[in-house]
Amino acid sequence: MAALAVAAFHLFRFPFPPFEFWSTQVFYLGEFGYYLFFLISGCAIRLSMESGLSAGVFLWRRAVRILPLYWTVLGLSLGLAALGVLHLEPAFGREPIGNALWNLTTLQQIFDRPSALAPFWTLGYETVFYALAAVALAVGWLPERSIAIPWAAAALAIMLLGPASAPGRLYFLAFGVGMLAAETLRGRYHGAWTLGAAAVLVVLHALALPGHNLEHISAESTFRAVVLAIVFFLLSASHSQAKWPEPLLALGRISFSLYLTHAVLTAAAYKIHSREAYAVAIVLALPVAFLTYRWVEKPYLQASKMLGGR
């Protein structure tokens, strides 16, 4: 759902003006996807930390999960840009070599460097979160003390990420709420803890509204997206044992591929800037994501299982 929301926001926004108005001024669909992604990630990572992995193996598995596919799509983006097939983010060209190197680390957003393509920015937050989780594993953090992990990680992020906007720093708190939801699913905490943390997160976002600085996207639409993402996540977590239809499970499997590859299709369509180009991008989005998952992402995921878990 998260990747699909982000892909729909980018693919449908420019060719359909009514959709652009709705998704920027009424309900910021992209932010809904991003925020849901962070919440789900926090929950999934917390659950994976219980499999008895060492910090090194944990980081290795996370790297194999993300970097091969990301580097493949990043390299493809840079190559197509060099051939004139698509435009990279405008600020990227001011220092292309340095920015390309920063993008290889996934940390460009954290250090105020431009991403090659817009959706790549989220990976920096993921990388920092993985590092903090690995530190927790390295120091032998006990499961019964794990409620402190998300809040300690969030507090550290808020202190260290001075140049980032307040809403950006609050993404780390979204990770924390996701982790707390995982603890609730394991029966360690009453659901009221997760609901309370989610309520605090909503209040903090409301307080951050005056600092909203996204051009062409209203603060109110962003806030609505955040609230609905939190509600959707909590409802989904409460039905975690439900049997989901196979098409939804399949979409979940290719979600990361969809998240990255749709950015290339969108950038190519934006270069041509015609409805026909966007129509082609929309039609190709899911097939390209499936093929990328099968030929790039899946082989590395299977290799990572050699070290245990998924």
Number of alpha helices (DSSP H) and beta strands (DSSP E) in the chain? 14, 0
Q: Which of 256, 198, 250 is nearest to 226 (CA)?
A: 198
Tell me, what's the pLDDT at 139? Answer: 78
* Interval 121-178: pLDDT, tens: 999 989 988 888 888 888 776 555 555 556 656 655 654 554 444 556 678 788 888 8
Q: What percent of the chain has pLDDT over 70?
A: 85
**pLDDT tops 90 at residue 216:** no
Which uninterrupted H or E stretch holds 168?
A: helix 166-185
Tell me, what's the pLDDT at 176? Answer: 83
**pLDDT tops 60 at residue 22:** yes
Q: Quote the DSSP letter at residue 120.
A: G
* HSE toward the beta carbon, residue 53, CA cutoff 13 A: 26
Tell me, what's the pLDDT at 263? Answer: 96
Which uninterrupted H or E stretch holds 127?
A: helix 122-138
**pLDDT tops 60 at residue 292:** yes
Q: Quote the DSSP letter at residue 247.
A: H
Handedness of CA 103, 104, 109, 111 (dihedral sign): negative
Contacts of 151 (CB under 8 A, 6+ apart): 176
Q: Which of 76, 35, 129 is nearest to 292 (CA)?
A: 76
What are the backbone angles phi and psi of residue 269, rounded to the nearest 5°? -65, -40
Tell me, what's the pLDDT at 163? Answer: 45
Q: Which of 126, 124, 130 is nearest to 49 (CA)?
A: 130
* Interval 56-96: pLDDT, tens: 888 888 899 899 999 999 999 999 999 999 999 999 999 99
Which residue bears the tokens 């060099």? 82
Query: What CA–CA distance (Å, rounded) separates 103 from 122?
Result: 11
- Global confidence as pTM: 0.88
Report residue 310's pLDDT band, with 50, 70 and 90 as the boundaries: very low
